Amino acid sequence: MTMPKTATDTMRALQGLEDGSPSVRLRAALAVGTGPDPLFVDRLIGRCAIEPDFSVREMLTWALMRHSPSATVPKLVDELGSEHAQARSQALHTLSKIGDGRAWPAITRALLTDADDEVARSAWRAAVVLVPEGREAELAGVLATQLGRGGREMRLSLSRALIALGEVAEPTLRAATTDPDPRRRQHAIATERLWRDPDAGFDFAIEEAKRIVALGTNGQEG
């Protein structure tokens, strides 16, 4: 029995996800997303966990977004328990793009403080998107435990997440500007500076924060 052309094309696309060429995998993900079917979800999520190419991973996320959240969200949530960091990171990234609040309970403190930087950054972004109204201050408190972590990009990601939470994060940030750890204190002060003057840029805010910490103050006037 000959398969219908659409089914044949779909099987070819699914096989293409395993091709050695990134450009072939990219086209395959595009094809699968163009004709979404719940039967494809497991293959797409499985590929996300191991795909080495950033552009292909983004296309896989797009393909998953083309499917119904009822088909994708539960499976992506299951992926958050994977022992593989990329699987967790990509599932979080995709959940942040889908934006379905049903995923919020799965954004645990363990993920927000994950030892893997990419997992933690993805969790911060997802949490800010998914946090229910009234839980923002609680989330800010957890995010603040990560102040001072990592290099520039890591710290910038955290600052952006805290700023995105709005005014509810301000008391937590203010408290952190007196933290005994100078790195955490610098990061908190820099985040406040960036919040007040986003045009100044993160690097300027960090240098200003270093100066303030060196002077032994927390940079708060009045």
Query: Which one-letter DSSP state was computed for residue 123?
Result: H
Whether residues 107 and 142 share a domain: the answer is: no
**CA geometry: angle at 65 spanning 143 and 126, to 5°?**
0
Q: Is the pLDDT of residue 92 over 70?
A: yes
What are the tens digits of pLDDT across the range 13-43? 788 899 999 999 999 999 999 988 888 999 9
Pick the residue with more confidence: 49 or 38? 49
pLDDT at residue 52 greater than cutoff 90? yes
**Gyration radius from the chain CA atoms:** 21
Q: How many separate domains does the chain show?
A: 2
Digit-coded pLDDT (tens) for 191-220: 998 888 887 777 777 777 778 877 765 555
Q: Does residue 75 lie in a domain region?
A: yes
Range of the domain at 192: 131-222
Tell me how far apart the alpha carbons of residues 164 and 135 are, in angstroms, rounded to a whole number: 13
pLDDT for the residue 131: 98
Same domain, 96 and 185: no
Of 5-14, 28-37, 125-134, give the range with the top mean pLDDT.
125-134
Whether residue 89 contacts residue 118, with contact meaning beta carbons closer than 8 Å, is answered with yes
Give residue 86's pLDDT. 98
To which residue do tokens 């001072």 refer?
148
CA angle 73/127/179 to nearest 5° reads 160
Using the 3D structure, point to which of 54, 80, 111 is the last residue of a domain.
111
Domain membership of residue 126 (yes or no) is no
Question: Among 200, 122, 135, which Cα is nearest to 161's?
Answer: 122
CB 55 within 8 A of CB 26: yes
Selection from 125, 118, 169 nearest residue 145 by Cα: 169
Instruction: Tell me, yes or no, whether 191 and 106 share the same domain.
Output: no
Has residue 122 been placed in a domain? no
119 inside domain: no
**H-state helical runs in the chain:** 5-16, 22-34, 41-48, 54-65, 69-79, 85-98, 109-112, 117-130, 136-144, 152-164, 170-176, 182-196, 202-214
Q: Is residue 212 part of a domain?
A: yes
- What rounded mean pLDDT belongs to the chain? 90
8 Å CB contact between 120 and 161: no
Which one of 111, 140, 155 terminates a domain?
A: 111
Domain co-membership, 98 together with 18? yes
- CB atoms under 10 Å from CB of 84, counted, come to 13
